[in-house]
């Protein structure tokens, strides 16, 4: 066993006595949440695992620049048509050929309204997909869409095998995925593990890591202890309270990507009273002590946010963080006719940094201005199945780390009628649609600024803070984290 500090040893003793150290050719990754399914077109969770099984037409390199993936090049044919030339000789893990038909099938299944894909927001601008020939596909958009190549770099645009899904069905595919990516699916045991094996014939070359095992370890202490003891090689979501332990461990390192995490917010169901009243929403917005929460509860490992757009995103507007002003909140409630407050339900889970404690702190701050808050705290696997959320207040994290563009940060949660949106602001809908059809970058940036300014005024949701991305790794693991929050095992090595 590796050398442990006294505290770490005490934590380790709380685990089962038998600890199996990972072999050099195996990477074991500890996750904070269990995996529910592995169909990239219908994800209700982060794409961390499927990102290693599937490929997209366009990829991002370490500098976050768009580079060829399954498409070798792409061009704008006209204002509403993008043409992609596809890489030849690529096959899915089951031997099925990758071609233009696979691209069309992938996008069509998400766009089909009958399938009710929760990821449709990201590619809703697509009008149709045209197969020109086996290695050429044209994507027609409803209006000019300058972000189309970027949309092809993330889910739900991971390319899937048409024949395999036709033969086995969508449910089977969700639990037995087949892609073209660096790693092939081996097994998926819910609440226990997902195992992947290197794709030795991968078009980018054979991966250095032979086997990847993704293990759900929801308990924070158990997850970090498993890293310190060498049971796992890499962990996601390092708990704030245990950061010092990891920093002082001789055989483990903290990987911190500033503002590399999600922006945590409170979703508001504007179609439900009293949240249909802007004064009420403003009152809630000013009732929250974001600075106190980030400094005292989160140890400075998150930054208070005045917008849902990340600082690294195109279109970011540096809006001031709403002032913590309980007196103003009470005044606004009185103006809205709720001088004596009201009772409301707030839903949350355990997915984010000290999620339960943050939710409790906010509930208390709401009660300080006269509300009665009924808290519903759910396991993440249950929580994600409640989309669209009943709320009327619900805590969620969102971001645009995979596109680094404000559109991904705001469209799906600001646009009326989208699966993850509780907003109902017609003027906001118009600006969001216009921003998606504006080609000129400067003009589009101004529209994205207007989106954020209007959201700041209308409060369709309450932005709280952006988390730093915190991971832990063994000292023999070469991985420094990425701004887009991905964990591409193809790029990871072990000494």
- Give tens-digit pLDDT for 450-488: 999 999 999 999 999 999 989 999 999 999 998 888 899
Report the alpha-carbon angle 371-375-381, nearest 5.
Answer: 150
pLDDT at residue 465 in the model: 98
The CB density around residue 475, as the number of other CB atoms within 10 Å, is 12
Pick the CATH number of 263-467 from 3.40.50.1110, 3.10.105.10, 3.40.50.300, 2.102.10.10: 3.10.105.10
Can you name the residues that pair with 128 across neighbouring β-strands?
140
Tens of pLDDT, residue by residue over 11-41, are 433 433 333 444 459 999 999 888 988 999 9
What dotted CATH number matches 58-166? 3.90.76.10
Residues with Cβ < 8 Å from 390, sequence gap 6 or more?
Answer: 269, 345, 347
pLDDT at 178 over 80: yes
Mean pLDDT of 293-318: 94
The residue ranges of every structural domain in the chain are 6-32+185-258+469-494, 58-166, 263-467
pLDDT at 8 over 60: no
Q: Are 116 and 110 in contact (CB under 8 A)?
A: no
DSSP code of 51?
H
Tens of pLDDT, residue by residue over 331-381, are 999 999 999 999 999 999 988 889 889 999 999 999 999 999 999 999 888
Count of alpha carbons within 13 angstroms of residue 329, beta-carbon side: 21
| Pairwise CA distance, residues 204 & 206, whole Å | 7
Sign, CA dihedral 365-368-370-373, equals: positive
pLDDT at residue 16 in the model: 38
pLDDT at 419 over 70: yes
Tell me the two tokens of residue 7.
């505290």
Strands 71-78 and 81-86: antiparallel
| Pairwise CA distance, residues 21 & 136, whole Å | 47
| Pairwise CA distance, residues 411 & 433, whole Å | 9
Mean pLDDT of 43-55: 92
pLDDT at residue 301 in the model: 94
Mean pLDDT of 159-164: 98
| pLDDT band per the 50, 70, 90 thresholds, residue 228 | very high
Tell me the two tokens of residue 249.
């461990």
- Say if residue 95 is exposed, middle or buried (CB neighbours under 10 Å; 0-12, 13-18, 19+): exposed
| Pairwise CA distance, residues 14 & 17, whole Å | 8
Residue 394 has phi, psi (to 5 degrees) of -145, 145
pLDDT at 297 over 90: yes
pLDDT at residue 7 in the model: 41
Residue 444 has phi, psi (to 5 degrees) of -65, -40
pLDDT at 3 over 60: no
| pLDDT band per the 50, 70, 90 thresholds, residue 403 | confident
Q: Which of 21, 491, 488 is nearest to 228 (CA)?
A: 21
CA torsion 383-385-301-448 (nearest 10°) is -130
| pLDDT band per the 50, 70, 90 thresholds, residue 402 | low
Percent of the chain exceeding pLDDT 70 equals: 95
The CA-atom distances, in angstroms, between 156 and each of 38, 103, 105, 411, 467 are 12, 11, 12, 15, 24
Residue 7 has phi, psi (to 5 degrees) of -65, -45
pLDDT at 393 over 50: yes
pLDDT at residue 57 in the model: 98
User: What is the enclosing helix (H) or strand (E) of 31?
Assistant: strand 26-31
Report the CATH superfamily, name and number, of domain 6-32+185-258+469-494: Periplasmic binding protein-like II (3.40.190.10)
Q: Are 355 and 32 in contact (CB under 8 A)?
A: no
The distance between the two most distant Cα atoms of the chain, rounded to a whole number of Å, is 69
Tell me the two tokens of residue 81.
């048509």
| pLDDT band per the 50, 70, 90 thresholds, residue 215 | very high
| Pairwise CA distance, residues 352 & 399, whole Å | 13
Residue 58 has phi, psi (to 5 degrees) of -125, 145
Higher-confidence position of 14 and 245:
245
Q: Which of 28, 469, 46 is nearest to 254 (CA)?
A: 469
| Pairwise CA distance, residues 46 & 181, whole Å | 17
Residue with tokens 């995490």: 261
| pLDDT band per the 50, 70, 90 thresholds, residue 406 | very high
Can you name the residues that pair with 303 across neighbouring β-strands?
466
């Amino acid at each position: 066993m590796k050398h442990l500090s006294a505290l770490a040893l005490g934590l380790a003793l709380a685990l089962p006595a038998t600890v199996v150290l990972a072999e050099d050719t195996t990477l074991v990754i500890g996750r904070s949440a269990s995996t529910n399914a592995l169909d990239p077109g219908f994800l209700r969770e982060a794409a961390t695992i499927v990102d290693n099984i599937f490929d997209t037409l366009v990829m991002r390199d370490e500098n976050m620049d768009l580079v060829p993936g399954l498409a070798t090049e792409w061009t704008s044919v006209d204002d509403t048509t993008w043409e992609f030339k596809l890489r030849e000789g690529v096959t899915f893990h089951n031997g099925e050929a990758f071609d233009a038909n696979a691209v069309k099938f992938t996008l069509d299944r998400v766009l089909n309204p009958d399938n009710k894909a929760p990821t449709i927001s990201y590619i809703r601008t697509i009008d149709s997909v045209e197969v020109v020939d086996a290695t050429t596909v044209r994507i027609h958009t409803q209006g000019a869409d300058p972000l189309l190549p970027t949309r092809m770099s993330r889910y739900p645009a991971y390319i899937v095998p048409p024949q395999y899904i036709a033969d086995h069905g969508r449910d089977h595919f969700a639990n037995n995925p087949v892609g073209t990516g660096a790693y092939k699916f081996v097994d998926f045991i819910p609440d226990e593990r997902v195992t992947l094996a290197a794709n030795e014939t991968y078009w980018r070359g054979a991966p250095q890591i032979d086997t990847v095992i993704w293990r759900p370890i929801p308990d924070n202490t158990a997850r970090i202890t498993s890293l310190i003891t060498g049971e796992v090689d890499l962990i996601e979501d390092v708990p704030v309270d245990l950061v010092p332990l990891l920093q002082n461990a001789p055989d483990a390192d903290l990987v911190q990507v500033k503002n590399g995490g999600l922006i945590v917010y409170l979703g508001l169901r504007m179609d439900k009273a009293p949240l249909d009243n802007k004064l009420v929403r403003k009152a809630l917005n000013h009732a929250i002590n974001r600075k106190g929460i980030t400094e005292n509860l989160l140890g400075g490992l998150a930054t208070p946010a005045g917008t849902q757009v990340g600082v690294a995103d195109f279109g970011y507007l540096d809006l001031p963080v709403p002032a913590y002003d309980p007196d103003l909140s009470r005044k606004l409630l009185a103006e809205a006719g709720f001088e004596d407050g009201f009772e409301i339900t707030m839903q949350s889970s355990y997915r984010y940094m000290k999620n339960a404690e943050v939710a409790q702190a906010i509930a208390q701050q709401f009660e300080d201005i006269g509300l009665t808050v009924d808290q519903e705290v759910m396991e993440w696997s249950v929580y994600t199945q409640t989309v669209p959320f009943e709320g009327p207040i619900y805590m969620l994290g969102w971001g645009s780390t995979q596109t680094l563009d404000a559109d991904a940060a705001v469209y799906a949660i600001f646009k009326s009628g989208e699966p993850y949106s509780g907003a109902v602001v017609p003027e906001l809908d118009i600006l969001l649609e216009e921003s998606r059809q504006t080609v000129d970058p400067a003009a589009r940036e101004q529209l994205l600024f207007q989106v954020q300014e209007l959201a700041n005024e209308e409060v369709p949701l309450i932005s709280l803070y952006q988390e730093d991305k915190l991971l832990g790794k063994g000292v023999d693991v070469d991985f420094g984290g990425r701004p887009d929050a991905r964990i591409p095992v193809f790029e990871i090595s072990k000494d």
